[in-house]
């Protein structure tokens, strides 16, 4: 798995307890976030004593209270929590007056400008090199996800427009995070994903800014050992499926990074295996890549492994690598054995059975 912390925000020696916000939100989030919590608890003294704070958010909460993200949730995360785990949100595909995604809002309010998504296959034998081993570093605060959209009536019918925002500041920050990720890996290879042959201004700014990071005064030669490549987003998706081994760390604007990382999940068998963290300079929030899966919510067949891996990724980013290793190794062994898996991986086990198997191996 992704075994290197990008930036240590804490050390075991400096913390007596670890306050973790839990935001299950919608759908299967309420089934898989408890599994991640239990995996953290199973670590015992490997980490400071965890204290969990249950928090509310989501579309279902919005339908009752007309807000998807209560102020109390944001304030608790900002003032009381060291980190957090977010489950999933059931954002509707149609416009709903007054609603906006709580996860998008949290990323902005907590300045979680990087979404880091490792996609790694599990080798058949322990110690073997995985066939897929890459990390998507996705800018998390702008692009089309600023949600500045308009709908007007014209003589030709309705006309919809969306503003796409790319800034030098956000591109530089995500570029620095991506170079840190590449520097921490064995290959030290970074691919910048863009479409500047068509979007020469917005994607052009992203491309140029990311590529300039090694030349910044504060970089002072730090990233000289990182090889830089580029790939147009459409051909990147094609090559991702044909030859995933060419990629190591991929850095992309928000929308491209979202699409690429979901597509990459197909290479390892299921979205139910792929973790992520939303990271900033002062806070980190784990989040499985899968959605709320309303078709299976409440059936106890949701795959908990992405959430459990997200907990490990969160702990690793905080500096608790030993505990994160124990979780990742346990998940690897469960996948490798293959006899206790949920239906998305071809198994017949229930969510709680898979969770129990991981806990036993932790």
Catalytic site residue 158? no
Using CB atoms within 10 A of its CB, is residue 189 exposed (0-12), middle (13-18) or buried (19+)? Answer: middle
Instruction: Identify the active-site residue in 2, 59, 133, 195.
Output: 195
Catalytic site residue 195? yes
Instruction: Identify the active-site residue in 258, 328, 332, 344.
Output: 258
| 177, 223, 224 from 220: Cα distances, Å | 16, 8, 9
Q: Are 305 and 334 in contact (CB under 8 A)?
A: yes
pLDDT at residue number 4: 52
Instruction: Identify the active-site residue in 147, 224, 234, 281.
Output: 234
pLDDT at residue number 125: 85
Instruction: Identify the active-site residue in 113, 145, 256, 320.
Output: 145
Domains of the chain: 1-112+280-362 (3.40.718.10), 119-269 (3.40.718.10)
Residues in Cβ contact with 265 at an 8 Å cutoff, skipping those fewer than 6 apart: 119, 271, 273, 274, 289
Write out the two tokens for 349: 């086990």
**What's the pTM?**
0.92
pLDDT at residue number 91: 84
The CB-side HSE value for 350 (13 A sphere, CA atoms) comes to 7
Question: What is the pLDDT tens value at each position of the chain, 362 positions in all?
Answer: 445 545 545 444 467 899 999 999 999 999 999 999 999 999 999 899 999 999 999 999 999 999 999 999 999 999 999 999 999 999 888 889 999 999 999 999 999 999 999 999 998 888 888 999 999 999 999 999 888 999 999 999 999 999 999 999 999 999 999 999 999 999 999 999 999 999 999 999 999 999 999 999 999 999 999 999 999 999 999 999 999 999 999 999 999 999 999 999 999 988 999 999 999 999 999 999 998 999 999 999 999 999 999 999 999 999 999 999 999 999 999 999 999 999 999 999 999 999 999 999 99
For β-strands 133-139 and 114-120, DSSP reports them as antiparallel
């796409």: which residue's tokens?
Answer: 164
pLDDT at residue number 123: 86
Catalytic site residue 258? yes
Tell me how far the alpha carbon of residue 331 is from its chain's centroid: 18
pLDDT at residue number 126: 84
Please tell me the chain's helix, strand, coil percentages from 3-state DSSP, rounded to the nearest 5: 40, 20, 35
CA distance 320 to 259: 30
DSSP assignments along 2-34, one per residue: ----SS----GGG-SEEEEEEEEESTTHHHHHH
């Amino acid at each position: 798995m992704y075994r290197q912390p990008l930036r240590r925000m804490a050390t075991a020696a400096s913390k007596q307890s670890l306050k973790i916000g839990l935001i299950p939100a919608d759908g299967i989030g309420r089934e898989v976030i408890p599994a991640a919590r239990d995996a953290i608890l199973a670590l015992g003294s490997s980490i400071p004593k965890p204290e969990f704070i249950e928090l509310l958010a989501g579309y279902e909460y919005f339908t009752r209270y007309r807000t998807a993200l209560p102020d109390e949730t944001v304030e608790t995360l900002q003032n009381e929590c060291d980190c957090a785990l977010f489950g999933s949100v059931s954002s509707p595909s149609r416009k709903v007056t007054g609603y906006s995604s709580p996860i998008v809002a949290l990323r902005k309010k907590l300045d979680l400008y990087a979404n880091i998504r490792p996609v790694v296959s599990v080798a058949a034998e322990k110690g073997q090199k995985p066939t897929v081993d890459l990390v998507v570093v996705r800018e998390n605060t702008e692009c089309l996800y600023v949600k500045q959209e308009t709908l007007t009536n014209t003589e030709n019918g309705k006309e919809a427009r969306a503003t796409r925002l790319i800034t030098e500041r956000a591109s530089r920050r995500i570029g620095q995070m991506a170079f840190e990720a590449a520097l921490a890996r064995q290959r030290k290879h970074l691919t910048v994903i863009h479409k500047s042959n068509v979007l020469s201004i917005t994607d052009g700014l992203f491309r140029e800014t990311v590529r300039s990071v090694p030349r910044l005064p504060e970089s002072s030669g730090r990233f000289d050992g990182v090889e830089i490549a580029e790939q147009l987003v459409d051909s990147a998706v094609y090559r991702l499926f044909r030859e995933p081994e060419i990629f190591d760390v991929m850095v992309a604007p928000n929308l491209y990074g979202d699409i690429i990382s979901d597509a990459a999940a197909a290479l390892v068998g299921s979205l139910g295996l792929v973790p992520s963290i939303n990271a900033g300079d002062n806070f980190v929030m784990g989040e499985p890549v899968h959605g709320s899966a309303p078709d299976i919510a409440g059936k106890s067949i949701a795959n908990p492994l992405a959430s459990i891996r997200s907990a490990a990724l969160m702990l690793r980013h905080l500096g608790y690598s030993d505990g994160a290793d124990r979780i990742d190794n346990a998940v690897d062994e469960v996948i490798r054995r293959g006899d206790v898996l949920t239906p998305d991986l071809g198994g017949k086990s229930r969510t709680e059975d898979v969770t129990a198997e991981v806990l036993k191996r932790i």
